[in-house]
Chain A
């Protein structure tokens, strides 16, 4: 049995408003409350989660153009994906022999996403989350061409824009940032309207649309 690990968020540290999902429930906390939120981790330990979170925050930063990976809960998304069937390559062909191919033949590595992250955490370094942003960027640039970085970048985008049931895109802030409304059942009255003008309905999650909690695939087994 692995020891239970939690990621603790300070709401004040995140600049006033934190919208976060815990067990797929949207949760709001305001800075004034000085609350700390503890989220149980399924794959990373707390130190690993802080480092991955810091790296995702450099890929999709929180800045003047809006919230980023920390507010969306990208690290929680990645933690759950790695803990689930994807993380252990349940659906990838993993028969040997493993040979190095040409790029056209796709990823031929033996390492599962979990193993790629364990190796990647070493590349990031023990102190990654305590470095200044410029130093973090320099370290990421040094590993930009690794498979780990490619996965981390892709997973950061997934964690920004997935349905909140997967642990990312908390409060649908990723969708709000790009004007994506989520899975509505019908745009029949709108598809040939609003030509050239922004049409921005309020984002809704899949569970809100269908009216009951939907179980994500990573929890189906």
Chain B
């Protein structure tokens, strides 16, 4: 095994979190930093001829290659897990920039009470209202502590939006850096109808710029052209903030930072309670040791958890006994699919952008009284003009049409194609003792390491929430003039066949003490002070809204803590 010269910092994962940490350390310290990314290098120019639905959105050209590594899945501890042989329910990214390249760019801040979920919920409703098998908890930080970092993250990306329209949003110390994006027809209709029913629509915050913007690092990006190719695509002009256009150009000028691709980190190495580096397999299959003074895991929710389990750092969660921290509080998103609105007018919905739309938070979090209801929390509800592509969206027909192929179906599907749209219900997914990650006893990756196993099922809270919200949104659909609104109830069981979101949380969660979490509120490992973990794997539970902005804000907060405190006095920060 080859051993390389020691570096000050080794970062596993070259997506938003890893590259942002590298950029901050590169700008503010003289440390040697190496980012180890297992995928391919990428450049912004790569996306110029990438507007092809089949290759990118259907065959998933930018996503993790499942043939080499996937996860296994089962609903409960009693079931046998089988491999997710092709990704569908969520889409892990790979390559420089990671999933930050092919995201939609929707960037809400979390509602303030999300960070104190357990405390606030018990305060208002009593502990008796918590679901029997829940494992929800507070994050160990507050919205107020995170607020300055939200503001910095928004400036880094140039977020387009407008504060002050949503009465439920947490305080913003500054207005968004750029005004909201233009509004497409469907979100405009939704806004008007929602307002007339007493809701508070506001333009979606978006990392797709409404106008050209220069960020504090001097990075210029142009205005979004609404081409409709955001999610599952890289932006061909760089209007959508991506690690390759926002962070890489800065890192390229930094002497201390190296981005090494084709470096698949497999273990965190340690001795005497301190991390000593990482080992990885390079693109030629050689095993390499990279010694480092500080190790940062930023390799996405699933892989951060898997690396700790494979490295045997911390105690693996045991669902039977409830002991152990690594792997627990795994959450996805309670999302309704097929809240489909049928209109008798064309929507021209081939146009749009990932953040071109309107949101309401009246039915999110605890913004409405749950006293008489049979569930807790709510959803971030949205109407977007994201650009509707034909392969993914053709075939929706009114419920009266029973055929799924043939003459009748074809006619109905052609008639409906540009006259239907979906309202998004991104429901908060609570953490449960029965939803978790561990290592699979049977299936292995192409290098011979055990796959991660996910055990996940829906509970009544999600089902009741989606039913309630779908009924509310059906009324908005009526107000919009929809001829028909079709709400599909949530499936009985969690499945890996239908796309939900790529918002996976938990596994290496943060918390107030080593007895309830893997990392402290500075995202520093409780037992191994020179190991930090970044990303949504640190979220104790899903918070309804899209996670990227919060990941960036937390990464900036941790970068400050490392530069201002840890480097002066290496040791526990909490």
Contacts and interface: CB of A to CB of B under 8 A. Distances in A.
A181 B348 CA distance: 10
A217 B67 contact: no
B84 interface: yes
B336 to A, nearest CB: 17
Given A99-B80, A161-B391, A178 B414 contact: yes
B405 A153 contact: yes
By secondary structure, the B interface counts as loop
A125 B418 CA distance: 37
Contact of A196 (B185, B227, B497): B185
Contacts of A161: 53, 390-391, 394
Contacts of A65: 407, 410-411, 414
Interface in A176-205: 177-181, 183-188, 190-192, 194-199
B227 A187 contact: yes
Interface in A56-83: 58-61, 63, 65-66, 68
Interface stretch (A21-29, A45-53, A89-97): A89-97
Interface string B344-356: 0110101110001
B407 A61 contact: yes
Interface residues of A, number: 67
A15 interface: no
Interface stretch (B141-149, B152-160, B271-279, B488-496): B488-496
B183 interface: yes
Interface in B381-411: 385, 389-391, 394-395, 404-407, 410-411
B236 interface: yes
A34 interface: no
B59 A86 contact: yes
A58 B406 contact: yes
Interface of B: 48-49, 51-55, 58-61, 65-67, 70, 73-75, 79-80, 82-86, 88, 182-185, 188, 223-229, 236-237, 345-346, 348, 350-352, 356, 385, 389-391, 394-395, 404-407, 410-411, 414, 417-418, 442-444, 491, 493-497
B350 A105 contact: no
A116 interface: no
Contacts of B185: 192, 194-196
A93 B48 CA distance: 30
A39 interface: no
A177 B395 contact: no
A40 interface: no
A106 B59 CA distance: 16
Given A103-B497, A104-B495, A188 B444 contact: no
A124 interface: no
